[in-house]
Amino acid sequence: MIKAEKSKQYDLEERTLVFAKKIRALMKKLTKTLANIEDGKQLIKASGSVGANYIEANESLSKKDFLLRIKVCRKEAKESRYWLKLIDTEGNQILESERQDLEREAGELTSIFGSILSKSV
């Protein structure tokens, strides 16, 4: 049972890492407008913070600290989704599809962290 929990833990660590990397890859492909640059900075910070806080949650010293970190993960995933909605793909269907996929993933991560939170209290 502990092994299965550890496996899920590391799967989510990997999933959040892949999410942050895909955000960065998308940002490199977008036109460098002032809005995309500024929104992209916020998006990159928020997306990286999801995984970083999840790692901290797994290393927490108390349940209270764990819950706080999971709340931060959920908040940063929600924020990532917000910034993704603002990114301008200028009608490029391939980039728009990537943006939508990442927006969906941010929503799923928000739900996952919400579920962890509700099951942990």
Give a three-class secondary structure readout of the chain. CHHHHHHHHHHHHHHHHHHHHHHHHHHHHCCCCHHHHHHHHHHHHHHHHHHHHHHHHHCCCCHHHHHHHHHHHHHHHHHHHHHHHHCCCCCCHHHHHHHHHHHHHHHHHHHHHHHHHHHHC
**Tell me, what's the pLDDT at 8?**
59
Residue 99: C-alpha distances to residues 55, 86, 88 (Å): 25, 10, 9
pTM for the model:
0.90
Domain ranges of the chain: 2-120
CATH value of 2-120 in 1.20.1440.60, 3.40.50.2300, 1.20.272.10, 3.40.228.10:
1.20.1440.60
Query: What is the phi/psi pair of residue 61, to 5°?
Result: -95, -15
**Tell me, what's the pLDDT at 2?**
46
Task: Count CB atoms within 10 A of the CB of residue 45.
Answer: 14
**Tell me, what's the pLDDT at 103?**
98
Q: In the chain, which stretches have pLDDT less than 50?
A: 1-2, 4
